[in-house]
Amino acid sequence: MADSIRESRGNRIRLVVAYDGAGFHGFARQDGLRTVQATLEETLTRMLSTPIEVHGSGRTDKGVHARAQVVHFDLPYGPPAERMVYVLRRRLPADVIPLWADQVDTGFHARFSVVRKTYRYLLYRGAAPNLFLYRFSWHVPGVLAVEAMREAAVHLLGRHDFTSFCASATPQEDKVRSLYRIDFVESPNRLAIEVEGSGFLQYMVRIIVGTLVKVGQGREAADRIPAILAARDRRLAGETAPPHGLCLWNVEYPPEYGGKVVDPEADL
């Protein structure tokens, strides 16, 4: 946790949690379904004996994981934020892990104060699926032309209309987003793709990954990306990569709220 976090002037709590998305129907509350938001709200409500509404930094879809999801909620009373983390670790299910919490002023909003978000998608390239990674990676056996994937990714950087790279039913009318960074992190049999941007549309990262894999397999040319962007046609981009390879990796706030909530160099 960064040292520059603003001194508290209210009862607003910021909480950073990690979760395994396999057992959830996404982050956002849905009637009759197990979601991260509902799990947090129910646990906090029981713990504090008062209704608690949780606001998240963004929604993750069914099956998508988080290394650093940020939420905030307001308390009429309760234990200090730091102590609350340890209480929640005993009360939350094993697939939701509170990392840290602090008290922030009421100007902070988990979603609307966000400056940047980073998602990481993990590909496993071994001949057979990995027993210990299959819940957290997309098995894509065989050789991928990573240099071609890097060339394709360069065309996605900057500010673009990402209509071709989001779900056809995406509710937002404005589909212009800014991507600041797409990095490829290679290790034996693994390839992680990190995408950092101002914000993301539904399935956007998964479609970007599916398109980059298509390029890496030689089924699409790297220099076709600008034309795919310009067409604003979802049918021209690659497949939507499966959700279980995707993880909300980091969330960044302005300096007065501590910047990135997880150390980018931390090995989690």
Cα-Cα-Cα-Cα dihedral sign, residues 246, 186, 135, 142? positive
Residue 10: per-residue pLDDT:
47
Spatial distance between the Cα atoms of 174 and 113, rounded to a whole number of angstroms: 19
Closest alpha carbon to 69 in 97, 107, 102:
97
The verdict on 148 and 89 lying in the same domain is: no
The verdict on 166 and 82 lying in the same domain is: no
How many structural domains compose the chain? 2
* pLDDT, tens only, 199-230: 999 999 999 999 999 999 999 999 999 999 99
Spatial distance between the Cα atoms of 266 and 61, rounded to a whole number of angstroms: 25
| 74 included as an active-site residue | no
- CATH label of the domain that carries residue 72: 3.30.70.580
The verdict on 51 and 137 lying in the same domain is: no
Spatial distance between the Cα atoms of 75 and 267, rounded to a whole number of angstroms: 32
Least confident of 5-14, 48-57, 136-145, 188-197: 5-14
The verdict on 71 and 53 lying in the same domain is: yes
101 vs 9, residue with greater confidence = 101
The verdict on 201 and 212 lying in the same domain is: yes
- CATH label of the domain that carries residue 174: 3.30.70.660
The verdict on 125 and 225 lying in the same domain is: yes
The verdict on 135 and 63 lying in the same domain is: no
Residue ranges at the known binding site for substrate: 119
Contact 211, 220 (CB under 8 A): yes
Helix axes 36-48, 81-91, angle to 10 degrees: 110
The verdict on 192 and 220 lying in the same domain is: yes
- Residue 161 counted as domain residue: yes
Residue 267: per-residue pLDDT:
58
The verdict on 144 and 240 lying in the same domain is: yes
Distant-in-sequence, close-in-space partners of 74: CB < 8 Å, separation ≥ 6:
10, 11, 12, 13, 53, 106
The pairing of strands 55-56 and 65-74 is antiparallel
Residue 122: per-residue pLDDT:
98
Res 1 pLDDT > 50: no
* pLDDT, tens only, 81-133: 888 899 999 999 999 999 999 999 999 999 999 999 999 999 999 999 999 99
The verdict on 145 and 75 lying in the same domain is: no
The verdict on 55 and 155 lying in the same domain is: no
Beta partners for residue 178, in sequence order: 159
The verdict on 195 and 133 lying in the same domain is: yes
pLDDT confidence band for 9 (50 / 70 / 90)? very low
- Residue 1 counted as domain residue: no
Residue ranges at the known binding site: 119
The pairing of strands 246-252 and 65-74 is parallel
Spatial distance between the Cα atoms of 235 and 210, rounded to a whole number of angstroms: 12
Q: Which of 3, 20, 61, 161 is catalytic?
A: 61
Residue 173: per-residue pLDDT:
84
Q: 0.85 cut: is pTM over it?
A: yes
Domain that holds residue 169: 116-247
